A and B are shown apart, each in its own frame.
Chain A
Amino acid sequence: MGFLEWVLQWATDPWGRSVPIHIAWFLIWVSAIAGLLFLIVHATYVRYFARPRQFAAEAPHAQASAIPARVPRHSIAARLFHWIMALAMLTLLSTAFLPKVGFQFPWVTYHWIAGTVLTASIIFHIFHASFWLDFWAIWPDRVDLTDAGNRVLRFIGRSAPPPRKFAKYPLENKLYHGAIIAAGLAVIVTGVFMMLRVRTIFFPRNPYLFSDMTWGMTYVLHGLAGVGLIALITVHIYFAVRPEKIPITKSMIFGWMSRDFYLEEHDPQRWAVDAAASSRESTGVEA
């Protein structure tokens, strides 16, 4: 049995061709176990083996004293987007995979409604991030890459300068965001086409839009991205509840983080805080 026969389900279409129809559903467990293994290994490493973090000494920031006690991090719009997306994502995962592991319920309608909410929220996020937020803040920059190299060298015991403090988002955050973009866009684009196969309020059904092979690959890509999201979301929730990350999680609820946490983790020269924004934050104006 070849690898593709193993990880995908195949069928013979009416014209006698072998076409993929789904991923093999054991991949649900592969992804779930991979996510759990990651958090076990990570938690063990942090608890027993990790050395204290060291950042490069930074020159005293001239405006440090001007940094407000509550450093605005996420606007109300950004937070609403995050939690709506989270709710949609959890609904999508549970409606997609619980029936596959034995919890039977009428899931399709909930699934496409949640998918529609996710799609709308992502479209909003793309425009919001492009025109109202610092678009490049979530993408790795040269400093991130240089520091990542140094962190790897120090991890394996080689001599390297300590990394600088983070900008608004650590590199791990940025890489995670990239992975979510890839998996999220894959499920959304394939999912929108798949809605042409079920009865929704949006499109007349058109199961003949693609050939059986293209439809099969669409379902496979949707499934692969979907099971990938099981591990990604597991890891995300794990980091959200880790004690040292709680201030970041709280900032996604309340919109701000403390000055102490900000100065401990972030480089004011890489993530400049608009002191005046602190007072505006509570009104929902983006920082």
Chain B
Amino acid sequence: MAVIRDVMPAFLLLQPNSVAEAQNLLEQHSDDAWVLAGGLDSFDWLKDRIKRPKAVVDLSGIDELKGIRTTSDGIEIGAMTTLTAVVQHPAIKEKYGVLAEAASVVASPQIRNQGTLGGNVSQDTRCWYYRAGWPCYRAGGNICYADTPEGRNREHAILHADRCVAVNPSDTAPALIALDAKFVISTRKGERIVDAEDYFVGPDIDITRLHILQPGDLLTAIRIPSTWAGAKFYFEKVRDRNVWDFPLLNIAAAMVVSGDKIERIRIAVNAAAARPLRLRAVEDAVRGMPPNAATGEMAGKLAVRGAVPLQFNAYKIPLMRNLVKRGIGGVQEATWAS
């Protein structure tokens, strides 16, 4: 683990009051700018002196980025809305419970009071080699220290690794993918709206980022359509300790059951790869089948096809298989038939 030092190096602190002003500042400082949301990821980087931005654009003074609004087709959550506000919002609890549940298990209550939804989905990976400032692929270098015979890679990727084996640590990301959320991004060319799953990138596309935001871009809001409102949800996060920890794996599922058949389903896992993975093959396979243990077992086996364990994280394969099974069949049917 990196040693957090005494104070942060000096930087220019910019505190805009509007998205337009923030956008201007980001364009003005471009690669030298650092976007500060809740600060929980950022201050690690800054105090460790691993990242040394010349300017920090603090979004906390922008009211239009905060709050949860009901729209004609669902809800819109400002990117600077705290995780606590998401957890406690009645409409989210009632109709989009999987998001409330996911947000409720992020870190600790204090962190949820300060941390934001936008920050949670945009946070950087927790790979300690990367966060210690070593010149790995993700830091622009030419090696992955975790993907070595003796590398400490218990928490790392089992799927879609490409040179870098770091994983995305967000808990809310799979829930937003399951809810078919749309991410609203303010860019130099105007507003851009992308599907939640397309907000994230793997190392095969961009090895230095976990998301598609480029310098100057700003995530402003997350829109959740009513498509999955009130569906049957499942969220589970597995971590080493039950408070204040990042996921070893998590899973989010939204399912509409008609009769005893799965009519519609969206299911996503995180911390298995550098991006949250929507399990499309699983969705296709279980549609029209009963949401029971047998279907879950089949889905679990399908979900881990192609997984490549590292030296110390093979446990993630049965873990993911089980989580997928539970995501479809439920916890009460977690026993494996074979």
B27 at the interface (CB under 8 A from A): no
B52 at the interface (CB under 8 A from A): no
Does B205 lie within 8 Å of A14, measured CB to CB?
Answer: no
Given contacts A104-B206, A108-B162, contact A11 B144 (CB under 8 A): no
Does B142 lie within 8 Å of A21, measured CB to CB?
Answer: yes
Given contacts A205-B147, A207-B148, contact A106 B140 (CB under 8 A): no
Q: Which residues of A contact B139 (CB under 8 A)?
A: 11
- The answer for the CA separation of A212 and B142 in the assembled complex, in Å, is 9
Q: Which residues of B contact A13 (CB under 8 A)?
A: 134-135
Interface string of A76-120 (1 = CB under 8 A from B): 000000000000000000000000000011111100000000000
B145 at the interface (CB under 8 A from A): yes
Chain B contacts with A in 45-68, Cβ cutoff 8 A: none
Chain B contacts with A in 70-114, Cβ cutoff 8 A: none
B29 at the interface (CB under 8 A from A): no
- The answer for the CA separation of A199 and B147 in the assembled complex, in Å, is 11
Pick from B134, B140, B145, B163: contact of A108, CB below 8 A. B163
- The answer for the CA separation of A208 and B143 in the assembled complex, in Å, is 10
Does B163 lie within 8 Å of A21, measured CB to CB?
Answer: no
The interface centre, meaning the residue of B135, B147, B202 with most chain A CB atoms within 10 A of its CB, is: B135
A255 at the interface (CB under 8 A from B): no
A256 at the interface (CB under 8 A from B): no
Pick from B144, B161, B162, B201: contact of A207, CB below 8 A. B144
- The answer for the CA separation of A125 and B206 in the assembled complex, in Å, is 35
Q: Which residues of A contact B202 (CB under 8 A)?
A: 106
Chain A contacts with B in 1-29, Cβ cutoff 8 A: 9, 11-14, 19, 21-22
Q: Which residues of A contact B206 (CB under 8 A)?
A: 104
Which range contains the number of A residues in contact with the other chain? 20 to 34
Given contacts A13-B135, A14-B134, A106-B162, contact A207 B143 (CB under 8 A): yes
Does A11 lie within 8 Å of B205, measured CB to CB?
Answer: no
Interface string of B197-215 (1 = CB under 8 A from A): 0000110111000000000
**Closest CB-CB distance, A59 to chain B, in whole Å?**
60
Does A11 lie within 8 Å of B204, measured CB to CB?
Answer: no
Does B162 lie within 8 Å of A104, measured CB to CB?
Answer: no
Pick from B145, B163, B205: contact of A105, CB below 8 A. B205
Pick from A21, A107, A108, A205: contact of B135, CB below 8 A. A21
Interface string of A173-199 (1 = CB under 8 A from B): 000000000000000000000000111
Pick from B134, B142, B148, B149: contact of A219, CB below 8 A. B142
A216 at the interface (CB under 8 A from B): yes
Residue on A nearest B132 in the bound complex, by CB: A14
**Closest CB-CB distance, A256 to chain B, in whole Å?**
45
Does A216 lie within 8 Å of B142, measured CB to CB?
Answer: yes
B141 at the interface (CB under 8 A from A): yes
Interface string of B136-166 (1 = CB under 8 A from A): 0001111111011100000000000111000
Q: Which residues of A contact B204 (CB under 8 A)?
A: 106-109
- The answer for the CA separation of A131 and B226 in the assembled complex, in Å, is 72
- The answer for the CA separation of A199 and B144 in the assembled complex, in Å, is 12
Given contacts A21-B135, A108-B204, A208-B148, contact A215 B142 (CB under 8 A): yes
Does B140 lie within 8 Å of A21, measured CB to CB?
Answer: yes
Q: Which residues of A contact B141 (CB under 8 A)?
A: 11, 21
**Closest CB-CB distance, A20 to chain B, in whole Å?**
10
Pick from A104, A106, A107, A197: contact of B143, CB below 8 A. A197
Interface string of B305-319 (1 = CB under 8 A from A): 000100000000000
Given contacts A106-B205, A208-B148, contact A11 B163 (CB under 8 A): no
Does B135 lie within 8 Å of A11, measured CB to CB?
Answer: yes
- The answer for the CA separation of A229 and B254 in the assembled complex, in Å, is 51
**Closest CB-CB distance, A109 to chain B, in whole Å?**
8
The interface centre, meaning the residue of B162, B202, B308 with most chain A CB atoms within 10 A of its CB, is: B162
Does B142 lie within 8 Å of A104, measured CB to CB?
Answer: no
**Closest CB-CB distance, A221 to chain B, in whole Å?**
12
Pick from A9, A107, A207, A212: contact of B140, CB below 8 A. A9
**Closest CB-CB distance, B134 to chain A, in whole Å?**
5
16 A–B pairs (Cβ distance < 8 Å), ordered by A: A11-B135, A11-B141, A12-B135, A19-B135, A21-B135, A104-B201, A104-B205, A105-B205, A106-B202, A197-B163, A199-B308, A205-B147, A207-B147, A207-B148, A208-B148, A208-B149
Which residues in A have some Cβ–Cβ distance to B below 8 Å?
A: 9, 11-14, 19, 21-22, 104-109, 197-199, 205, 207-208, 212, 215-216, 219
- 5 closest A-B pairs by beta carbon, nearest first, are A11-B135, A106-B204, A21-B141, A219-B142, A104-B205
Beyond known contacts A199-B308, A215-B143: 15 more, CB 8 A cutoff: A11-B140, A13-B135, A19-B135, A21-B135, A21-B142, A22-B140, A22-B142, A104-B201, A106-B202, A197-B142, A205-B147, A207-B143, A207-B147, A212-B143, A215-B142
